[in-house]
Structure 1
Amino acid sequence: MSDMTETPKSAAMQKLPLIIILCVAVVGAFTLRDYLSFDALRDNREALIAFRDANYLMTALAFIAVYVVIVAFSLPGAAIATLTGGFLFATFPGVLFNITGATLGATAIFLAARTGFGAKLGAKIEASEGPVKKIKDGIDENQWSMLFLIRLVPAVPFFIANLIPAFLEVPLRRFVISTFVGIIPGSLVYTSVGAGLSEVFDRGETPNLGIIFEPHILFPILGLCALAAMPIAIKAITGKKGL
């Protein structure tokens, strides 16, 4: 018969992956900022291009692996990594490499958070009563829409968008699909900016990372947000649950 009680040792082991991620994130924030920067990319661009030309497949795989590590450990430089994907591999397949790395890294955080705290917290919320339970029920009824919204809205930090689903017992498959699809618009914008970095470097300028908030970019993304929110609005108006 299996022991149904959770020992302190097993509870600590479950929290260990998330604790490691948080510790590495704190250390990385102070030690890697100068290495994962626009200046570092500019200063090493010729070496990177030469290595890519000589080892394209290895470069692509190494790039995705580095992107996974950056996202999984919430290290500084995710935006620079996305620009680098466009700089090295053009808008396509650069955007595909960026999305793949970001999705895998986000999934690592999601699993670590769900294993460490999310499953237990979700079970407690499910067994409770009151406003918190009602909020969770509302989110559960519109999970796809909510997941796409937190990915599409530029103001939601990527790290937070990875943690919230873990605490709300979102299925892994649903998390992965919504992450991969939901980050396509933003990734496409920044990858295309990265694809034009050679001209930016030649002019001695820095890329405009605020381009996503310019009207011709922001309005279409907000339109996608409205589309994702439409099922929620319809349910709120009609008072009917989705099928």
Structure 2
Amino acid sequence: MRDDKKEDRVSDTSQPRSSGLMRKLPLIIILFAAAIGAFTLKDYLNFQTLADNREALLAVRDNHYALTALVFMGAYALIVGFSLPGAAVMTLTGGFLFATFPGALFNMTGATLGAIAIFLAARWGLGERLAEKMDTSDGLTKKIKAGIDDNQWSMLFLIRLVPAVPFFVANLVPALVGVPLGRYAISTFLGIIPGAVVYTSVGAGLGEVFDRGETPDLGIIFEPAILLPILGLCALAALPILVKAARGKQGI
């Protein structure tokens, strides 16, 4: 009888551990793939590779347009989903192969699908439990969580619009604070429109850049003519947060 009780205790303690590990497994795989990709793929997913293979890529696109678009969006989703290097190159490739439109649409779709993969992995492994702990906690932690919950749409659009926020960070943070999947997906797709259109339009002119033996200027998004409108959108996204904060101070 004593041995049976010991076995039951062992199985009871091992099951939560194993299930906890399984929940974290997708996120662990993503982080592992990101670490390997940072060292093994950086010499392949670059502008030189695109320049060397541009004729072949254009030929494939011309012969199999729909299939090329689907494969491109799938590859983009994999790169974003596993946080591999080359997302910027893929965005420009979308413009190079498919022009600004529908290239921007293909880029946004691939990026959103990849972002959703990271979001689900992070939420399944860490986010749900972390959000529950934040809800049941006291003091500053609970206030931060409540502030995020009260301004989810604004916060989601803000982290997507601000160019200084890394894409990987913008994918993880919402998962860790309990943002609903639908809200996350919509804000991601719409929030990346400005950056996607800018970089896709740069990619649409890559042929001439390669002919001159030059490298595309990715800093174009920080030029005043482009940055100021994006900052204006950031201000609009932040406005509801500021209004709520002002009303809270006034006791409205």
Shorter-chain TM range is over 0.9
Matched, 1:83 2:92: yes
1:189 aligns with: 198
**Aligned equivalent of 1:31, options 26, 40, 60:** 40
- Aligned residue runs from structure 1 range 53-202, under 5 A: 53-202=62-211
Give the length in aligned residue pairs.
237
Partner secondary structure for residue 239 of structure 1: helix
Partner secondary structure for residue 88 of structure 1: helix
- Residue 6 of structure 1: how far off its partner (Å): 6.6
Moved >4 Å (runs of 4+): none
1:217 aligns with: 226
Report Cα offsets for 1:68-125 as digits up to 9, x if no partner: 0000000000000000000000000000000000000000000000000010111011
- List gaps (5 residues or longer) in structure 2: 1-11
- One-letter amino acid of the counterpart of residue 226, structure 1: A
Give the whole-Å Cα distance in 1 for the aligned partners of 2:44 and 2:215: 17
- One-letter amino acid of the counterpart of residue 181, structure 1: L
Partner secondary structure for residue 207 of structure 1: coil
Partner secondary structure for residue 7 of structure 1: helix
- Asked which structure has the greater CA Rg, the reply is 2
Give the whole-Å Cα distance in 1 for the aligned partners of 2:142 and 2:201: 42
Matched, 1:203 2:212: yes
- List gaps (5 residues or longer) in structure 1: none
- One-letter amino acid of the counterpart of residue 94, structure 1: G
Percent of aligned positions with the same letter in both sequences?
71
Give the whole-Å Cα distance in 1 for the aligned partners of 2:77 and 2:248: 41
- Residue 133 of structure 1: how far off its partner (Å): 1.1
